[in-house]
Amino acid sequence: MSEPTKVLYPEKVTDLVLKAGAMVGQGELLGYSSGWVRSDADAATNIYAQYVALQSGVGGQLIKACKKCLLFDEDAPWTANTAQYLSGTAGATTETRPTTDGDVIQVVGRSLDTKRCMIDIQDPKEFELFIRSGTFNALGGAGAVEAHAIDAGWEGADADSAAIAGYIAGQLPSGLVSLDAADLICDMQAATALDIDFTLVHAYKGAANNGAGTTVTAQATVETEADNKILRVSALAAFDATVKLPAKYFTLKVDPDGGDFILVGLYLRGFKL
């Protein structure tokens, strides 16, 4: 007969009201999706874990939950000394790192032996990522390599309205929770107003393009234009809901219709697990 999992030594205990329609078992992982429900790494859901249920409950009930605890199971379901990930099965853990495109990757703890597993759920952390433009990522309108330049010590594609300024490629974190800033970083070569269009393509590793993100046109600098200043142009709107997903690869096309600047790179900021 299978023995129930026991939850021992809880820390950072709080009360949670379960979402209407939810059903939760003791020891299951909980996340928030318009209310507290079982967490789920599955790409179609992506509800990252924030707590462990200390008791069973149904929608509308107030239950106890914790951030850290020891799970004990006499049936020995774990492999000793092994990382535990949030599973694509709601509320559960898995020792296999999720591999389906778009699954959120979250390490929620580590087994001590076959019968004991320490769960220690960490809050999402803010990340900052800077991707420079790169020597060969900038192409002229006819496919020629766009001239690079150094202006006031800043090196990059010498961009103006006569040609495509460049392409910037990167990958979003596998534990992505949110993307809150995507700023093109420009070294201004004149006090001329910028007018930049953004388009992008995106895909998962080993897969064909998932299509293009939202096309964004006529973007200006966040700060007032001035020569020899580092200014930002937001490309965040191009990273729509189909793009800002865990482990998604992207290439951002930067197409200026006005202005004169050095394309320095792309700054990304958000939260990740």
For the segment 90-140, what is each residue's pLDDT rounded down to a tens digit?
Answer: 999 999 999 889 899 999 999 999 999 999 999 999 999 999 875 434 455
The CATH superfamily assigned to 125-272 is: Galactose-binding domain-like (2.60.120.260)
Q: Do 259 and 118 meet the contact criterion of CB atoms below 8 Å apart? A: no
Residue 94 pairs in a beta bridge with 85
Q: Model confidence at 226, in pLDDT bands (50, 70, 90)?
A: confident
CA-based diameter of the chain, in Å? 76
Could you tell me what percent of the chain has a pLDDT over 90? 62
Q: Indicate yes or no: pTM above 0.75.
A: yes
What is the phi-psi region of residue 137: left when phi exceeds 0, alpha when psi lies from -120 to 50, beta otherwise? alpha
Residue 261 pLDDT greater than 90, yes or no: no
pLDDT in tens, 159-218: 776 666 688 899 999 999 999 999 999 998 888 888 899 999 999 988 777 777 788 998
Return the minimum-mean-pLDDT range out of 101-110, 220-229, 238-247. 220-229
Judged against a pLDDT cut of 90, whether residue 20 lies above it is answered with yes
**63 Cβ neighbours under 8 A, 6+ residues apart:** 15, 16, 18, 24, 53, 54, 55, 56, 57
Nearest to 246 by CA among 27, 146, 34, 99: 99
**Residue ranges per domain, the chain?**
6-120, 125-272
Residue 249 · residue 205 · CB < 8 Å: yes
Q: Which of 63-72, 137-146, 255-264 has the highest mean pLDDT?
A: 63-72
Burial 181-191 (b: 16+ CB within 10 A, else e): ebbbbbbbbee
CB-based contact 107:83 (threshold 8 Å): yes
Q: What's the rounded mean pLDDT across residues 231-256?
A: 92
Q: Looking at residue 143, what is its pLDDT?
A: 44
Give me the residue label for tokens 């032996």.
113
